[in-house]
Amino acid sequence: MRARYDDIADWYEHDFLAAQQGADLLELARLLADLLGPGSGPCLEIGCGTGANAGRLRALGWTPVGLDISWGMLGHASARMPVTQGDAECLPIADGSLAAVVTVLTHTDMPGYPAVLREVSRVLRPGGVFVHLGVHPCFCGGFADRSDPAAIVINPGYRDTQWTTASWTANGLRDKVGATHLPLPDLLNEFLAAGLVLERFGEGGSPTPVLLGMRTRKE
Residue 213 binds ligand SAM, judged by CB under 6 A: no
The Cα–Cα gap between 202 and 219 comes to 21
Sheet holding 63-68, edge to edge: 83-85, 63-68, 42-46, 98-104, 124-135, 211-218, 196-204
Site stretch for ligand SAM (CB under 6 A), options 69-77, 119-127, 164-172, 192-200: 69-77
Alpha carbon 3 to chain centroid, angstroms: 17
Give the shortest CB-184-to-ligand SAM separation in angstroms. 20
Residue count of the chain: 219
Residue 135 binds ligand SAM, judged by CB under 6 A: no
Task: Give how far Cα 182 sits from Cα of 91, 121, 142, 198, Å.
Answer: 22, 19, 11, 17
Site stretch for ligand SAM (CB under 6 A), options 54-62, 87-95, 153-161, 191-199: 87-95
Please report, as residue ranges, which positions from 168 to 207 form the binding site for ligand SAM (by CB under 6 A).
173
Which residue lies nearer to ligand SAM by CB, 44 or 150? 44
Binding mask 44-63 for ligand SAM (x = CB under 6 A): ---xxx--xx----------
Which residue lies nearer to ligand SAM by CB, 74 or 196? 74
Residue 34 binds ligand SAM, judged by CB under 6 A: no
CB of 124 closer than 8 Å to CB of 93? no
Alpha carbon 127 to chain centroid, angstroms: 21
Site stretch for ligand SAM (CB under 6 A), options 83-91, 141-149, 160-168, 187-195: 83-91
Please report, as residue ranges, which positions from 106 to 125 form the binding site for ligand SAM (by CB under 6 A).
106, 109-110
Give the shortest CB-192-to-ligand SAM separation in angstroms. 21
The Cα–Cα gap between 46 and 87 comes to 9
The alpha carbons of the chain give a radius of gyration, in whole angstroms, of 16
What is the 3-class SS of 188-210, one letter each residue? HHHHHHCCEEEEEEEEECCCCCC
Binding mask 5-24 for ligand SAM (x = CB under 6 A): x-------------------
| Residue 56: strand, helix, or coil | helix
Site stretch for ligand SAM (CB under 6 A), options 82-90, 117-125, 160-168, 191-199: 82-90
CB of 175 closer than 8 Å to CB of 169? yes
Residues that bind ligand SAM (CB under 6 A): 3, 5, 47-49, 52-53, 68-70, 73, 87-89, 104-106, 109-110, 173
